Amino acid sequence: MKEIDIHAISSQELYKYLTSSVTPRPIALVSTVDKDGINNLSPFSFFNVFSINPPILIFSPVNRLRNNTKKDTLNNVSQIKECVISLVNTKIAQQVSLASSNYSANEDEFKKAGFNKIKASLVKPCLIKEAPVNFECKVNNIISLGDNGGAGNLIICEVLKIHIDEGILDQDEQIDPLKLDIVSRLGANWYGKTNQDSIYKIVKPVSRIGIGFDNIPQEILSSEILSGSDLAMLASVDTIPNKKNTDSLSLKTEEKHTLAKKLLEKGKIIEAWEILI
């Protein structure tokens, strides 16, 4: 395994390793305004949701590596402690990339990147009309993580109101990930799309406690056919089911494991257990 001594490489090299490995990252397109009323729009991929009650989003503008200067967004939220955080889908990804250009503080990225403003209900910064989801936020706190180039600044935002494009909702009024069509940030110039081939479901053992790997019979646990993912699915049941499928009694171990693997690929965990036991 390759080892990286972070003290033996440059900040630029460290940036590449971190941003290429911690992926995919959602992108926050952040709308802010300074004390003179000048709008700013900038994307950040150091971003996520960190609390539900209160509803907290955090993004982090990083001090520029080349000259250790601070981003306009950070300066703006230090003056006016409000922002709008918008999500980015494939329809606006190219415009968002353009908005990341190092425009001067007195230039409006809404105009530069071709976005339309909508007046927010509770905060001074504008909503982005083209974005699928807009969060109106107040800035509760700003935490500096260092003084050097590359140091982050955590902008802790409390969500006050959410605006959702109805076109991304399913029949139950819930957000459909395929309609949301979110774009994620990878390393270098790479981005990710959300499509049918890139997403799948894993049923969480919320209402039950899985038996765990340590309760799987050794013959199954040592299988050369079943992967760690397969075993995790088997270990997610709260109890090993009773055998109902007697057709597998005559099968060899490898045949049982191969058949069980195919069932697990279809999400049929109980049926797989009935083959294996």
Distance of alpha carbon 273 from alpha carbon 277, whole angstroms: 6
Model pLDDT for residues 214-273, shown as the tens digit of each residue = 999 999 999 999 999 999 999 999 899 887 666 777 888 999 999 999 999 998 999 999
Q: In the prediction, which pLDDT does 67 show?
A: 87
Asked if residue 183 lies in contact with residue 27, where contact means CB atoms within 8 angstroms, the answer is yes
DSSP structure string for 36-80: T--EEEEEESSEEEEEETTEEEEE-PBPPTTT-PPPHHHHHHHHS
Distant-in-sequence, close-in-space partners of 217: CB < 8 Å, separation ≥ 6: 277
Q: Scanning the structure block, which residue is given the tokens 């971190």?
A: 18
SS3 at position 253: helix
Question: Which DSSP category does 213 fall into?
Answer: G
- By C-alpha distance, which of 200, 191, 206, 268 is closest to 233? 268
User: Average pLDDT of the chain?
Assistant: 93
Least confident of 88-92, 168-172, 176-180, 250-254: 250-254
pLDDT at site 242? 82
Q: What percent of the chain has pLDDT over 90?
A: 79
CB 71 within 8 A of CB 83: no
18-44 pLDDT, tens digit each: 999 999 999 999 999 999 999 999 999
Tens-digit pLDDT profile for residues 47-69: 999 999 999 999 999 998 888 88
Residue 91: the pLDDT is 95
- Provide the residue type at 229 as one letter: S
Cα(80)–Cα(32) distance, rounded to whole angstroms? Answer: 8
User: In this structure, what token pair is assigned to residue 42?
Assistant: 């900038």
Q: Taking each helix axis from N to C terminus, what angle separates 228-235 and 253-265, rounded to the nearest 10 degrees?
A: 80
Distances (CA, A) of 122 to 85, 119, 137: 13, 9, 8
- Reported confidence tier of residue 199, pLDDT bands at 50, 70, 90: confident
Q: Name all domains of the chain by residue range, CATH numbers in brackets.
A: 11-192 (2.30.110.10), 213-276 (no CATH)
Specify the pLDDT at position 208.
73
Pairwise pLDDT comparison (144 vs 242), residue with the higher score: 144
Asked whether the beta carbons of 193 and 181 are under 8 A apart, the reply is: yes
Using an 8 Å Cβ cutoff, are 192 and 101 in contact?
no
pLDDT > 70? residue 207: no
